[in-house]
Structure 1
Amino acid sequence: MTETIHVTTDVVEGARDGIIEQIQALVKTEPSISPRSDRQLRRSLAKGRLVVALDDDRVVGWFLAEGRASGVPELGFLFVVREHRNGELFRSMLDLLLTDDLPAVAVTFQPGFALWAQRTFGFRESSLAEVIWLTRGAFLARRMMPARIRAVRAHTSKARPLYLVHEGRS
């Protein structure tokens, strides 16, 4: 199934609006996805920090790396449409963002995903304090926007956040 899927951070400018529209449509159908603004998605696409998985021209997955300015990107929500969820597509998307020597941080509310990330990519469980320290406060600052506060409140009322750190690849 994934042999027809193209995973990339390199989206030509003319296709970016369509990609963003599809991602925003997926956000509206999946309450577990924290919203991102069109501006943030557009900027991330332009800078190669948004991984998209495409089945022809249809977005079947996306993954965002935020906050490289702090030197430690936060790997944002990894989303794949249900019919394409398998370890192979998740792995392809993460491989594309974990290519340099930078450490990275992530937060998940899914214990199974946290365990998979630890076993497959060498993440280690961490704490909110360490993630805030590593990102020089950017992790916390990104959560101060009203839309993100609502999303965080919805997630944290249902599950305990798991903080993960990836030391980078050598």
Structure 2
Amino acid sequence: MKKPILSIIIPVYNVQDYLEDCLKSIISSDLSQVEVLVINDGSTDSSLKIIKKYSEKYSHIICYDKENSGVSATRNFGLKKSRGKWIWFIDSDDLIKTNILERLVQFLINTDLDVFLFQLTMFQKKVTNIYQNDTLVKEKINRYDAMKTLINPKYASFSWNKIFKKSLFSNTLFLPELSN
């Protein structure tokens, strides 16, 4: 695969009940300019088996297996392995809208934004809240304010409702080990 435009990073820990739905929602789109890094963070259920099944069938899905270190360290691991210009952190119990990746990639190729924000839809499934990245929100945020969106209540404090330019993570206090 040539260098992807978008890297989707999915940390996984004991989510066998939701993971397959998450991956199915992703593969419902064209993955030609997308890499999907699914990182098993020491799961003790069948999550790793599910990841391997999808990575063997879909070349754009890349399976990593590592010792449990928590979601932040797992996202950092994904950042180090990612090759895309843009980063989208998706949780393993999230779903994305069918065929949205094609629209996103075209938008990301032609934008000068540093952060791309989604509205979200919440719905119930098996008594657990699952969020769906859905509608595009076009708001200009400069690189200096981009990381603040994670703690600003105006934007919701989720990482999965935002796509970040990967360069925002270079030489930051959030991920100092990426500066090498």
The structure with the greater share of residues assigned to helix is 1
Fold shared by both chains (TM-score > 0.5): no
Question: What TM-score comes out, normalization by structure 1 length?
Answer: 0.28
Question: What TM-score comes out, normalization by structure 2 length?
Answer: 0.27
